[in-house]
Chains A and B, each alone.
Chain A
Amino acid sequence: MSPMSTATDDERVDTTELALARAVLAGEPWAQREVWERFSPMVHGVLRRALGPGHDFEDLLQDVFLRVFDRVSGLRDPSALRSFIYSVTIRVVRWEIRRAQSRRRRQAAAIEHRDGPEAVTVDPETRDLVARAQAVLDGLPARERAVFVLRHIEGKELSEIAEGLEISLSTAKRWLKRGTRRIEAGMDRDTRLSTLLKGRPGQ
């Protein structure tokens, strides 16, 4: 099982996760470290996929966990720890999108693509396909990308995404629709992806 979460994972709360949440709420000294160890790969993955290249993910990861530890005392339901961390992550994604937009406006320069595809080591063919898919995803505007990733890759509900990104549900739906349309167009332009995913060569 990969460290990434899906909606199904949220529903199946692991007992150790529950114990961990209770320990964090009780202020056990070891618990924060354990939360970091357990959830930082998940948060890192969400940030990387939702934001794409050109962001300081180490800083963002710190941001998420500082907020998590600052606010965790207000968590009423310990079984919701994972969802809580997700919601903080989505909010940080939103702020980072805004910051990146204002950075772009100020600098009027393209964001440098520092982050190449770092796929889980798989066979070269799959690596190639992953790189192609990532290139298509990187072509999406930041907001559409975030909604697409959170919905289709992270499996989050649209209402949850809308709340986290502080947009209306209809806006979330519209961005998702546009993003999905762009992804489909991108797949159509890439013969290999199109053949693999649609069963026919692209245009």
Chain B
Amino acid sequence: MNRDGSHDGSHDASVQRDPIEGFAELLRHVPGPLPARQRMAGWQRLQQAIAARQPLRDDAARSERGPSWLSVWLSSWRVRTAVVLALSAIAIPVGWRIGKRAEPRSLEYVVSGEDGLDVLPATGRVLSSRTGRAQLLFTDGSQIGLHRAARLTVASLTPAWAAISASRAVIPDDSTA
């Protein structure tokens, strides 16, 4: 049978045609007609199924709705790739931030008192106070007051403690730093 519905009756007629059309023409011979006996048996089975209203296959309860826009949309590999890239672009920085937040952070501190707040290099610098009112405020709530002419160095900071070397300082009793 040709695409216009007519029969040419022989495969020889396909020689000069599009090979794919000739190929399709050959396959239209398959399968042969459904035998009458098979049709009859099929009809009887179908009648029983309709009467019992029982699904024959495991997917019979599947919704008969048309294709969801999402499934059609996602069936294109370009769209799928774009979606994966977009999700990665969001997920990677968010995951990185969450991971970073989950890590225990080292203590930090500022020097307060003389000229407002000074943010200083975290460790290794010698600290002193001209007025004697400066304080080191740590992020865990600890405080260290500096007397005039005191010399103090924050040697290292960890999440749990700070190592401080002081030449002259007063450390309050409640300090844990």
Contacts and interface: CB of A to CB of B under 8 A. Distances in A.
Contact of A163 (B7, B29, B55, B67): B67
Contact of B39 (A40, A70, A162, A170): A40
Contacts of B5: 1, 6, 8-9, 12
A63 B23 contact: no
A129 B11 contact: yes
B27 A134 contact: yes
Contacts of B103: none
Contacts of A62: 42, 45-46, 49, 56
Interface residues of B, number: 50
Contacts, number: 152
- SS class, residues of chain A in contact with chain B: helix
Contacts of B43: 33, 36-37, 40
Interface string B39-51: 1001101100110
**Residues of A in contact with B, size category:** 35 or more
B42 A193 contact: no
Interface of B: 1, 3-5, 7, 10-11, 14-16, 19-24, 26-34, 38-39, 42-43, 45-46, 49-50, 55-57, 59-60, 62, 64, 66-67, 71-73, 75-79
26 contacts: A6-B4, A8-B3, A32-B50, A33-B43, A40-B42, A41-B33, A49-B27, A49-B31, A65-B46, A66-B56, A99-B59, A118-B30, A118-B31, A120-B29, A120-B30, A122-B29, A126-B11, A126-B26, A134-B30, A162-B72, A167-B72, A168-B72, A171-B77, A180-B20, A196-B15, A197-B22
